[in-house]
Structure 1
Amino acid sequence: MNFDAAVFSDISASGVGVIIRNGNGLVMAALSARGPTVMDSDEAEVLACRRGLEFALEAGFGDLIVEGDNLNVMRAVVSNRSDWSRLGNLVDDVRHLAGRLRLVDFQCIRRSADGVAHSLARFARNISEECAWLEDTPPPAAEALYVDSLSLSI
């Protein structure tokens, strides 16, 4: 599961993008959703991670590798320490949701490897209700998926 966030300061909103693929790179599920106003990208990213895990659980997934490109968020989520920051409650939510999965691993990835989730997060600017796709290519991310498929076939 790759997740990403976008911040739309001009419309006081954020965006969430989630893509869940199988081991062969085939799309199993995808989500684009408008989020609330956020203070910064760390807040947007932890909210995107939480929504992505909720979506994965709703769709029935039990084993996930969760990939995000925000090092601060990924470190906070995998840490064994209590998080007393302003985002601590959200980090706790992510940890709790992850605990409901049979198997979960968190990995920080390069921003360039998160293009599909990023395109879905940017698409959220244009919608008022969540858009979800199950076992189907999400049209807003078709180009990014194509670019990803080229890198997988090399």
Structure 2
Amino acid sequence: MVSAIIPHRHVADVFVAEAFSCLQAFIFAKDLGFAKVVIEGDSLTVIKKNCAMTSDSSLLGPIIHDIKEVSKGFESIVLCSVHREANNIAHTLVREGRGKCSSMFWIEVAPAGATTAAALDWKNLNRT
């Protein structure tokens, strides 16, 4: 498992932020040489746009296009929509990254607060 904080300034809205995050996740996975990726997000809109076979003419279109280009060559890709309550780790990383000027990356370790958030995600994901 890997995680990252990559600051973006002047992001138009939450959908653009989610799309940028998805793009950065694919770039990070490609840079690390992963063949198989699973990317979870709580923006069903971004997930659906990435899975669509048609081109996207919305504000997200150029980012979605970049995601599709970067994702070529992976052996396996799984894009999952998860409820916000099961995505605490992503929101922990967002809070951790606010105000940061440079990117931060973690490989096989967790940033502050991420372990607790991951446990909460697992609990919320497995509710019956």
TM bracket (short chain): 0.7 to 0.9
User: Which ranges in structure 1 are unaligned for 5 or more consecutive residues?
Assistant: 1-27
Aligned residues: 127
SS in 1 for 2:97: helix
Do residues 69 (structure 1) and 42 (structure 2) align? yes
- Over the aligned positions, Cα root-mean-square deviation in angstroms equals 2.0
User: Which ranges in structure 2 are unaligned for 5 or more consecutive residues?
Assistant: none
The aligned residue for residue 136 of structure 1 is: 109
- AA in 2 matched with 1:136: V
Do residues 114 (structure 1) and 87 (structure 2) align? yes
Change (3 A) 1:129 1:140: farther
The aligned residue for residue 59 of structure 1 is: 32
- AA in 1 matched with 2:45: N
Alpha-carbon deviation of 1:111?
0.8
* Structure possessing the higher relative contact order (Cα contacts under 8 Å, 6 or more residues apart): 2
Q: 1:33, 1:121 within 8 Å by CA — same for their partners in 2? A: no
SS in 2 for 1:139: coil
Change (3 A) 1:145 1:100: same
- AA in 1 matched with 2:71: A
- What's the CA shift string for 1:120-143, capped at 9, x where partnerless? 122111321111111112224232
The aligned residue for residue 98 of structure 2 is: 125
SS in 2 for 1:126: coil
- What's the CA shift string for 1:71-95, capped at 9, x where partnerless? 1111111000111112211101111
- What's the CA shift string for 1:20-68, capped at 9, x where partnerless? xxxxxxxx21111211211111111101110111111112211012211
- Identify which of 78, 81, 84 aligns with 1:105: 78
Distance 2:100 2:116 in 1: 19
Q: What TM-score, normalized by structure 1, do the two folds share?
A: 0.74
Identity within the alignment, %: 28
Higher share in strand: 1
Q: What TM-score, normalized by structure 2, do the two folds share?
A: 0.88
- AA in 2 matched with 1:80: M
Distance 1:50 1:66 in 2: 10
